[in-house]
Amino acid sequence: MANVLLIGLGGVGAVVAHKAARLPHLFTKLTFGSRRIASCEAVKKAIGRDDIGTVAVDADSVDDVVRVLTQLKPDLVIHTALPYQDLAIMEGCLRCGVDYLDTANYEHPDRPGFEYKEQWAFHDRFKAKGIMALLGCGFDPGVTNVYIAWMKKHHFSRIDTVDILDANGGDHGLPFATNFNLEINLREITQRGKYWENGAWHETDPLTVHETFDFPGIGPKEKYLIYHEEMESLVKNFPEIRRMRFWMTFGAAYLKHLEVLQNVGMTRIDPVVVDGQTVIPIRVLQAVMPNPADLGPLTKGKTCIGCIVEGLDKEGKPAKRYVYNICDHQEDAFKDVGSQAISYTTGVPAMIGAKMMLEKKWRGAGVFNVEQFDPDPFMADLNEFGLPWQDVAL
């Protein structure tokens, strides 16, 4: 029995809410928190549980987070709002002695890029307080990290190379839209690419390294090398890895729209003055674009996200394996919770991570990434709660 506060009721948060609400024996008391209380009420209505609470919270303000935590006294905060708010919510949890979980690492609102450094810096204080923070428990990061830990446990004596592949074969029928927060999405893919090789990071110009790959359930798609946050924790926790790369697919129309938006300055994150008002171009763009949470009924097709690992098997022989999930936007995500697959593949693992913590299958004092725990119960729950995986020898 647990008292859980979910902060952030956008596309991902709504998925977490639906899945957690179906486990009342574990998520006994649920409260939805957001700056926009209407978002909380809408998800609560869709779920149909009158006992779910709602609360207004400014997740940018440590004081307001502390106010809400002092009022509700939750056992766990699940943070599915914006990565800019990671530090404020973690600080609030620290002051109030509450466990914490998020799906994406910290980003500074005023400069591009993301890293775990500022969140890892909480480790000693969380440990001294006897509370736990679980970072990056979505799909990528999250499930991809667990895939690596599971393959190391069951298949490999040594991992040499890792390629993480994220393909979205879905089509929403709109000229241009993003399947999760537009600002976070565009900041992620417009920064320089980066990969790990032979003990050092190497950079590339944005979206310049690409190749075709035949994705299970989708078919051939062009995948592009970008930097992604799970690589930072994985090379730390598996120092044997010689090379690690992250690949994501983009269609030609998406890339053309992105090129135009960059050329006219609409992806800028610095403030500009318009008619005496200070605005940030990328946030103006986000305000006129479709809401990712509304794309569920429109999106058809599948996603395929997984990891290809090469190294030595348990007998010391060369081995190569591919562990992946295929998620159908309609048949899996929309029919289950009214979502598209990008939100679904992030929200389901966040609920499972919370379940691991509440059941004490994953416990520790301090700040952790998901690959630091036993992958087996998490992998079992992926199959049970809507994200079945395949393990293939290549």
Residue 108 falls within a domain, yes or no? Answer: no
Residue 208 falls within a domain, yes or no? Answer: yes
Confidence (pLDDT) at 332: 97
Three-state secondary-structure class, residue 175:
coil
Residue 221 falls within a domain, yes or no? Answer: yes
Q: How many domains does the chain have?
A: 1
Residue 266 falls within a domain, yes or no? Answer: yes
Confidence (pLDDT) at 180: 65
pLDDT tens, 165-177?
999 988 888 877 7
Confidence (pLDDT) at 115: 87
Q: Which two tokens stand for residue 37?
A: 């209380």
Cβ atoms of 341 and 170 closer than 8 Å: yes
Three-state secondary-structure class, residue 291:
coil
What percent of the chain has pLDDT above 70?
A: 99
Cβ atoms of 75 and 99 closer than 8 Å: yes
Residues 114, 115, 121, 127: what is their CA dihedral angle, to the nearest 10 degrees?
A: 100
Distance between CA atoms of residues 283 and 221, nearest Å? 30
Q: Which two tokens stand for residue 118?
A: 């500022």
Distance between CA atoms of residues 348 and 100, nearest Å? 17
Q: How far apart are the first and last CA of the chain?
A: 43
pLDDT tens, 221-277?
999 999 999 999 999 999 999 999 999 998 888 888 878 888 888 888 788 888 888
Mean pLDDT of the chain: 93
In what helix (H) or strand (E) does residue 78 lie, and over which residues does it extend? strand 76-79
Distance between CA atoms of residues 344 and 142, nearest Å? 13
CATH number at residue 266: 3.30.360.10
Distance between CA atoms of residues 16 and 84, nearest Å? 20
For residue 113, pLDDT over 80 is answered with no
For residue 188, pLDDT over 80 is answered with no
Residue 2 falls within a domain, yes or no? Answer: no
Distance between CA atoms of residues 262 and 268, nearest Å? 8
Residue 255 falls within a domain, yes or no? Answer: yes
Nearest to 69 by CA among 89, 48, 44, 46: 89
H helical segments located in 121-251 = 123-129, 143-154, 182-190, 230-237
Question: Does the pTM exceed 0.75?
Answer: yes
Domain that holds residue 238: 143-339
In what helix (H) or strand (E) does residue 4 lie, and over which residues does it extend? strand 3-7
pLDDT tens, 366-380?
999 999 999 999 999
Distance between CA atoms of residues 72 and 31, nearest Å? 9
Three-state secondary-structure class, residue 42:
helix
Residue 206 falls within a domain, yes or no? Answer: yes
Q: Residue 85 carries which DSSP code?
A: G
pLDDT tens, 130-175?
999 999 999 999 999 999 999 999 999 999 999 999 999 888 888 7
Residue 347 falls within a domain, yes or no? Answer: no
